[in-house]
Chains A and B, each alone.
Chain A
Amino acid sequence: MTDAAEPAILVRGLTKRYGSLTAVDGLELQVAAGETLALLGPNGAGKTTTVECCEGYRVPDAGTVRVLGLDPRRDARRLRPRVGLMLQEGGVYPMARPQEVLRLFAAFHADPLDPDELLERVGLSDTRRTRFRDLSGGQKQRLSLALALVGRPEVVFLDEPTAGLDPAARRRTWEHIGELRAAGVTVVLTTHLLDEAEQLADRVAIMDRGQLVALGTPDELTHGQRARLSFTAQPDLDLADLAAAVGARVEQPRPGRYVVHAANDPQLVARLTAWLASHDVELGELQAGKRSLEEVFLRLTAEEDRT
């Protein structure tokens, strides 16, 4: 068992280059035992490289990675039985059937879950004898998830676990990941879906171009330093007139999306809606205080774009 004080995953100054491209650049990250961390970022942010360094597939050019206190490459033999993983590529024999693949992976572990019960749990009982290549995208992903779980792992790495799934299948996968969290398993998942990170993770690490640009609980990330109010309406309102009416600075960061820089109080909302009413402008969304994770994400990754 891991010491409660010792992080399940420790990443120190991780740097990984592919030729002239620096995929991960001095990354610092800790994941506590039992925590679910989402690595969020656009394509090419270095999420997969980070996870694959933790899984032992990549050798870091600099820095150290420890999983359950072990080196993913040097201590692979001791670490692998305790880790479950899900790759972006399915990684399953196209001609093999879910039941036999799950039984095979179970045979690699000393005390695996019952393969048939696990198939039932992820909803693959009816397709346990269907060849992998004939499964739907959602069924393939669920089998990959089951393969990650069959060895009763203490740490699970899920690389885009819901990529290509329809909303219903995505929700089912979220439920399985939620169960892992409830069972005290440490989970690291990569995603470029903001709602997925918000829904599943205790903490979200936003990566861009190999670097960590933000780290915190979804609440911490979405609570801005400045009090503010944002709303959507038709584009190109008269900002000066509106600002005078509400008594605060107003910006339009994107066409049709407005931010009022003032403490959110009922009078402010009343003045805003009064102005909208007198100008016959229909209100879209109104959000007070809390920024959406999407705003945080776009702002952070856009800042990077300008450099």
Chain B
Amino acid sequence: MNERDTPMLRAVLAQAAMELRLLVRSGESLLVTFGIPVGILVFFSVVEVLPTGERRAVDFLVPGVLALSVAATGLVAVAIQTAFERKYGVLKRLGGTPLPRAGFLAAKALAVAAVLAVQVALVTVLALSMLDWQPQGGGLAAPLAVLLGTLATTALGLLMAGTLRAEATLALSNAAFLVLLVISGVTFDAGTLPDALAAVGRALPVGALGEALRVAFDGGGFARGPFVALVVWSVASVAVTTRTFRWEP
């Protein structure tokens, strides 16, 4: 141990706090991560206009909105923030500090986890207290599904941020978010979509996460298909991202 060695825990926590402050400081990011999911949940629970199948709107919506929250953070907010950090040379500059890359990634993960915790708390508390949501289970399967979904969407977001121009990441991540919102059965039963499109939606991370959560909250435990999809997405996206990510502008 050298007296000049980096105080690693302090460094990672300081970096995580910085990441979190910046995420919260961006109004657009707050709108996507909190505004849109909560807005969808409240509006469509109260106004039952969506084809949500036989179940009550809130029971259908909570899993989808949680999946959407995860995508909003990982695929949109983190992707855009990181893309511009790369563009402005922040990632390069941090690479010249004693904070190692692993420490940097840990800090980003902590910031994502913090945002996610608030999102999940907001959605579930709102649904339980005001919208009479009654989950039948999911204590184990749901957190695991959210974790996998976060890993997959964040890795996909970073894949864009680390390879594309920042402006392209901005456009593509928002477009992807919109497409996923429509085809992943988040706000309405994917059964009303053409079969092929619905199948694609279920295979993508948001659809798979929504389905995994829906089964879990219905008391069905681990839904095999969706979990397999989530694991495949997580492994593949992490593998591709770690191989292609460029730190320099």
Contacts and interface: CB of A to CB of B under 8 A. Distances in A.
Interface of A: 55-57, 76-78, 80-83, 85, 87, 89-96, 100-101, 103-105, 107-111, 147, 151
Contact of A89 (B6, B13, B249): B249
Contacts of A101: 18
A116 to B, nearest CB: 16
Contacts of A111: 3-4
Given A55-B96, A81-B5, A107-B14, A87 B89 contact: yes
Given A89-B249, A109-B6, A80 B97 contact: yes
B10 interface: yes
Contact of A95 (B25, B89, B93): B25
Contacts of A105: 97
The list of the 5 closest CB pairs from A to B, nearest first, reads A91-B93, A107-B14, A89-B89, A91-B89, A80-B98
Contacts of A83: 96
A115 to B, nearest CB: 11
- With most chain B CB atoms within 10 A of its CB, the pick from A77, A78, A108, A151 is A108
A108 B249 contact: no
Given A90-B88, A94-B84, A108 B98 contact: yes
A87 B90 CA distance: 10
7 contacts: A57-B248, A90-B88, A101-B18, A108-B97, A108-B98, A110-B3, A111-B3
Given A108-B97, A110-B4, A91 B88 contact: yes
A253 to B, nearest CB: 41
Given A93-B88, A100-B21, A57 B95 contact: yes
Contacts of B10: 107
Contacts, number: 91
B22 interface: yes
B92 interface: yes
Contacts of B6: 77, 80-81, 108-110
A55 B97 CA distance: 10
Contacts of A80: 6, 96-98
Interface in B5-53: 5-7, 10-11, 13-15, 18, 21-22, 25-26
Nearest to B99: A108
Interface in B55-88: 84-85, 88
Contacts of A55: 96
Contacts of A76: 100
A110 B249 contact: no
B129 interface: no
A174 B18 CA distance: 31
A21 to B, nearest CB: 17
B90 A92 contact: yes
A263 B246 CA distance: 59
Given A89-B88, A92-B93, A151-B98, A110 B14 contact: no
A108 B8 CA distance: 7
A87 B248 CA distance: 12
Given A85-B96, A90-B93, A107-B10, 9 more contacts: A87-B89, A87-B93, A87-B96, A93-B18, A93-B22, A95-B26, A101-B18, A107-B13, A108-B7
A87 B247 CA distance: 14
Contact of A107 (B7, B100, B249): B7
Given A82-B4, A93-B85, A95-B25, A108 B92 contact: no
A110 B95 CA distance: 17
B170 to A, nearest CB: 14
B3 A90 contact: no
Given A91-B88, A94-B88, A100-B18, A108 B11 contact: yes
A78 B2 CA distance: 9
Contacts of B7: 107-110
Contacts of A110: 3-7
Nearest to A77: B100
Nearest to A148: B96
A91 B4 contact: no
Nearest to B10: A107
Nearest to A88: B89
A80 B101 CA distance: 13
A105 B25 CA distance: 20
